[in-house]
Amino acid sequence: MSAGRAFIDSNIVLYLLSADTTKADRAETILASGGSISVQVLNEVTNVARRKLNMPWNDIHDVVTQVKALCNVEPLSIEAHDKGRYVAERYGLSVYDAMIVASALLAGCSVLYSEDMQNGLVIDEQLRICNPFVAQPVAKKPTRTR
């Protein structure tokens, strides 16, 4: 698994709107670095911003427009749906989390930033789930044998 493109889950995007400045700053750094999201991420952000945060539509439009300017947006597709069902069954993820994972896999991403999934889980030897709000373990160097 090589370092490559990142995929960003909706919970990371939503931290841009958080009063928790540490998490908001970290989310901003991740998004500023670019990456990919899916249409599902845009839908989830819009839904939470409207229903839970009571944001006006024009503010939601501004947030979504900024996110789309920073990230590649992966479409919803039958292929993503089929891959998502496989991921949900194989790895025990919720259907909606599995659809995010499927979009990341199909986009060729190697990292999925998410606070809601199992930190460190590797999917299909390609995609590592990374919670950007916890300390990441340092990879140990292999021990030399004689």
Assess if residue 86 is contained within a domain: yes
Assess if residue 1 is contained within a domain: no
Residue 19: give its domain's CATH number. 3.40.50.1010
Assess if residue 138 is contained within a domain: no
Which SS3 state, helix, strand or coil, does residue 16 take? helix
Question: Residue 36 belongs to what H/E stretch?
Answer: strand 35-38
pLDDT-based confidence at 91, cuts 50/70/90?
very high
Q: What is the dihedral of CA 47, 65, 74, 104, to 10 degrees?
A: -70
pLDDT-based confidence at 145, cuts 50/70/90?
very low
Determine what percent of the chain is predicted with pLDDT higher than 70. 90
Assess if residue 110 is contained within a domain: yes
Residues, the chain, total? 146
Which SS3 state, helix, strand or coil, does residue 27 take? helix
Which tens digits make up the pLDDT trace of 34-55?
999 999 999 999 999 999 999 9
Helical pair 21-32 and 57-70, crossing angle rounded to 10 deg = 50
Judge whether residue 141 has pLDDT over 60: no
Assess if residue 136 is contained within a domain: no
Which residues in 41-51 are b (16+ Cβ under 10 Å) and which e?
A: bbebbbebbee
Assess if residue 53 is contained within a domain: yes
Q: Sort strands 122-123 and 127-130 into parallel, antiparallel or unpaired.
A: antiparallel
Assess if residue 135 is contained within a domain: no
Assess if residue 140 is contained within a domain: no
Domain holding 125, by residue range, is 6-130
Q: How many domains does the chain have?
A: 1
